Amino acid sequence: MADEYSAVKRGKLVLKGEKPKAKKRKHKRKDKSEDNKVDEDALKHGGWWKVERIEDITGSISIEFGNNSYISALDNGLFTIGAPHDDGEGPSPEEIFTAFPAGETKFALKSGYGKYLGVSKEGTVMGRSDAVGPMEQWEPVWQDGKTAILSSLSKFMSVNPEDDSVVAQNVTAGEQEVCNIRSNRSKEVKQSNVPEEEEGDLAEVEVNYVKKFQKFQDKKLRVNESGVTELKRAKLEGNLHETLLDRRSKMKADRYCK
C-alpha cells in the first residue's frame, strides 16, 4: 500500500474555495540567428555585399566579374580584370571606385585616378573624363538574380577574354556580361511606423482600408465618393481613422460598421 501512495504524483495543496493558478506557458525563445542572418557571400568577399537596387550604388563600389575578380584601373585610363582574390579578401585600392547617382536609374563612377568611367564609340571602357556627360552614365540591370551594366550606347559591360580589357560591345547580356556590383557601406534598414494600409495618397489609403474590412458579398468594392477633402481635413485634425470608419459605415459594407 505504501508503494501505491508513493507512486501517486504529488501536487500543490489547493484549499477549498481557492482556484488553482494557471500554469505559465513557456515561450520558445526566438533564435537570434533568424534576425541576424550572416551574409556568407559578403564574408567571402571581405564584407563587400551584392548591390541589388540603384539606391545602394553610391560611395565605394567594386565591379566583380567571375569569382572574386574585379575590374581594375590602369594609369593610362584603361581598365583590366584584376587577379582573383582569396576567400575573405576584398578588392584592392585600384579596384575600388566612387559611385554617384546620375538621375533616377543611372550612376557614374570615378576611378582612384580622379577620372570618370565612360565608353568610346568603339566600345572601350575608359576613365579619362573630368566631368560626367552622357557617355559617363551607366545603368544597372537586374533580372533573375543576375546583374549587368548597360552603357550609354545601350551595350553591356564585359571583360574581353582575349586581352582582359574592359569593354561594352554587346547589345545582349550573356554569361560574359554577368557581374556583381559590390559595396562595403553599412546596409541601411528602413524602419517605418506607418501601417501598410496608410502608404500612398489619401485616396489609396481609403481603398486600402476598404479592402481590409469590407464584406464582399457581391464582390464589389464600395468606396465613399465624397472626395478626399474631408480626409485631408481629418488628417490635419488628427482623426483620420475615425473619419475613415464613418465614411465606411455609410457604405454599410464593413464588418466593423453597423
**Per-residue pLDDT at 145 exceeds 90:** yes
| Poorest-pLDDT segment among 73-77, 83-87, 216-220 | 216-220
User: What element of type H or E holds 242?
Assistant: helix 240-251
Residue 111 has what pLDDT? 97
Tell me: do 173 and 246 sit in the same domain.
Answer: no
Residue 33 has what pLDDT? 47
Higher pLDDT, 93 or 29: 93
Residue 226 has what pLDDT? 64
Last residue of a domain, one of 140, 159, 183: 183
Tell me: do 145 and 217 sit in the same domain.
Answer: no
How many domains would you assign to the chain? Answer: 2
Which residue, 75, 153, 139, 50, is CA-closest to 102? 139
Question: Residue holding cell 546620375?
Answer: 102
* Residue pLDDT, tens place only, 155-187: 999 999 999 999 999 999 999 999 999 999 987
Domain that holds residue 201: 196-251
- pLDDT mean over 228-239: 71
What nine digits make up the cell of 209? 482600408
| Poorest-pLDDT segment among 60-64, 156-160, 178-182, 252-256 | 252-256
* Residue pLDDT, tens place only, 1-45: 555 434 444 444 445 555 555 555 555 554 544 445 788 999 999
Tell me: do 56 and 105 sit in the same domain.
Answer: yes
**Per-residue pLDDT at 128 exceeds 60:** yes
Range 94-128 burial, b when 16+ CB lie within 10 A, else e:
bbbbebbebeeebbbbbbbeebbbbbeeebbbbbe
Domain assignment present for 209: yes
Domain assignment present for 157: yes
Confidence of residue 209 (pLDDT cuts 50, 70, 90): low
Domain assignment present for 221: yes
SS3 label, residue 114: coil
Q: How far apart, in whole angstroms, are the C-alpha atoms of residue 196 and residue 116?
A: 41
Tell me: do 48 and 176 sit in the same domain.
Answer: yes
Tell me: do 244 and 133 sit in the same domain.
Answer: no
**Per-residue pLDDT at 230 exceeds 80:** no
Enter the pTM of the model: 0.61
